[in-house]
Amino acid sequence: MTSPALTETAAPMEPQSKVRRSRKAIHLSVGLLAVVSIAFATTACTPEAMAKDAIAKHWAGNATCAERIAQRESGMHPDAVNRSSGATGLFQIMPLHKTWIKNELGYDFSEMKDPYKNAEVAKRLSDKNYKAYGDGWAPWRLSGRAIRGGGCPA
């Protein structure tokens, strides 16, 4: 005996019409991805943005002057190196401070291209100069001389 469900023949399928889908959604997605990529690439990852963040982190109340000094010294480029003196990084830390940096903070001089470490070393150097001479900005004065209570040199 056969089952009635098996003996019935299935109704022939009608040919499916092709569904035309809009490409607007794809174009919109690609465009949005491009805009987000450009926005990300031009904001947080630039050397200048990193430099400003590093300065803000370590210099707090003196960040405005510190930014001007970093702009004057390195153009806000963390990897800047002066060919003649060997001064390195945002604040152009001099190689003569190698031993002090290693003893005080444990950093190698080769790490001075890191904007956060460079800003930290510069702040420590500024604090040290302020305690000794009354002028935390002395290392960045064009004359190199301390001016007790002197303002921002940049």
Q: Is 18 inside any structural domain?
A: no
* 140 has a pLDDT exceeding 70: yes
Q: How many residues does the chain have?
A: 154
> Has residue 20 been placed in a domain?
no
Instruction: Give the H or E element holding residue 12.
Output: none
When divided into structural domains, the chain yields a total of 1
Q: Is residue 127 part of a domain?
A: yes
Residue 25 belongs to some domain of the structure: no
What CATH number does residue 100 fall under?
1.10.530.10
The pLDDT of residue 8: 54
Question: Is residue 146 in a domain?
Answer: no
Answer yes or no: is 24 within a domain: no
Band the pLDDT of 23: cuts 50, 70, 90: confident
- Residue 90: pLDDT band by 50, 70, 90 thresholds? very high
154 part of a folded domain:
no
Residue 54 within a domain:
yes
Alpha carbons within 13 angstroms on the beta-carbon side of residue 36 total 6
Range of the domain at 100: 47-140
